[in-house]
Amino acid sequence: MNDKKVLLIILIFIIGAAFSAGIKIRPGTILLQEAPVGETYDFESRRGQNITIGPVEKNITYTISAEPAGEGGSQATGYYDFPDASWFTLDLDTISIEAGFEGDIGMWMDIPAEDGLYNHHWLLGIPISPVPVEGKGTQIQVGAYLLFRIETESLDGVIPACAKDEIVTVPSRPRFVDVLPGQENTLVVQLFHGKASSGLYEVSRLDPESPVAQLTILGTPGFPRLANPDWITYPEEIVIPGEEEGGSPFPITLKIPAGAQIRRFEEIIMIKNDKTRPAFIRILVNTKQG
């Protein structure tokens, strides 16, 4: 299922709910970057977020759960299935809400302390389904399916645990810090994937005007997309070894023209071929004005 279809389904659920059963859910989606590995993440204390349903128009009961998004038939470009739904905890699996009121569901995440779990881009599905009310005949009750984007902490020097066909960059968020305009800087990341054999991949920037950039691979808060793509160069093709053969070095070179007045920006590049789902690398840049 492509990104436009996924978005359309979500909108149909939400809009249809608003006019039939009165369902309102927030947040509609989440982008969690630098999701910690090896510690419990409490969404309410860290982000002020619970899943809130309502206010509802009539008494209603919902079931709610977490699952790898692929189990619900959903995909998002650059993201792979959340590996284990037991790492994501909801404080309720059933919630009953009275007419005119809201219901809150707390949520936590506990990714195990394993080196292989850094640097991943995962997609988690949250199905919210109404429980039929006896004696109400064919009354329409509408549910929803939320998609949460989880990007685990970026860490260099580790070997990722790649799912089948998953491409992982180590580190996943290479960062140029205190760069002086006019100087050239190069970082080398390692590319891994879960395929048994090596493969040739194309590399290109993500068009910031494309549906994928606007709806799927959301930007890092506080880092606008790079407006001058020629400032960052990299190989346009790369061979990534098989899963038992280690990673492939991938150089990224940055040169901001002397005198450029810019504090920070982000560039996103895609890695793909016609046999594997695409992956992406976030490149973050902070400059230092001399």
Q: Is the per-residue pLDDT at 142 higher than 50?
A: yes
Question: What does the pLDDT read at residue 135?
Answer: 56
Name residues whose C-beta falls within 8 Å of residue 167's C-beta, 6 or more positions apart in sequence: 191, 192, 193, 194, 201, 240, 271, 276, 277, 278, 279
Digit-coded pLDDT (tens) for 106-125: 999 999 999 999 999 999 99
Split at pLDDT 50, 70, 90, the class of 132 is: confident
The total number of residues shown for the chain amounts to 290
Q: Are strands 51-53 and 103-105 parallel, antiparallel or unpaired?
A: antiparallel
Question: What pLDDT score does 153 carry?
Answer: 98
The DSSP secondary-structure symbol of 20 reads T
Q: pLDDT tens digits, residue range 74-111?
A: 999 999 999 999 999 999 999 999 999 999 999 999 99
pLDDT in tens, 194-252: 988 899 999 999 999 999 999 999 999 999 999 999 999 999 999 999 888 889 999 99
Q: Label each residue of 173-187 as H, E or C.
A: CCEEEEECCCCEEEE
Per-residue pLDDT at 289 exceeds 80 = no
Q: Torsions phi, psi of 248, nearest 5?
A: -120, 125
171 CB contacts (<8 Å, ≥6 apart)? 118, 119, 154, 155, 156, 189
* pLDDT tens digits along 266-287: 999 999 998 888 999 999 999 9
For residue 276, which of 75, 21, 112, 74 has the smallest C-alpha distance? 75
Go through the domains of the chain in sequence order and give each one's CATH number. 3-152 (2.60.40.10), 167-287 (2.60.40.10)
Tell whether the model's pLDDT for residue 290 goes beyond 70.
no
Q: What is the pLDDT of residue 66?
A: 97
Please state the rounded mean pLDDT for residues 161-167: 93
pLDDT at residue 86 in the model: 97
Instruction: Kindly give, in sequence order, each residue whose CB lies less than 8 Å from that of residue 230, ignoring residues fewer than 6 positions away.
Output: none
Q: The tokens 């068009």 sit on which residue?
A: 207
**Distance of alpha carbon 254 from the chain centroid:** 25
> What pLDDT does residue 6 have?
44
Residues 91 and 156: their CA atoms lie apart, in Å, by: 34
pLDDT in tens, 16-74: 333 334 478 999 899 999 999 999 999 999 999 999 999 998 899 999 999 999 999 99
Eight-class DSSP state of 3: H
* Per-residue pLDDT reduced to its tens digit, 61-73: 999 999 999 999 9
Identify the helix (H) or strand (E) that includes residue 149: strand 144-152
> 228: which residues sit within 8 A by CB, 6+ positions away?
none
Tell me how far apart the alpha carbons of residues 208 and 227 are, in angstroms, rounded to a whole number. 9
Q: Rg of the chain over CA atoms, in angstroms?
A: 21
Residue 1 has pLDDT above 60, yes or no: no
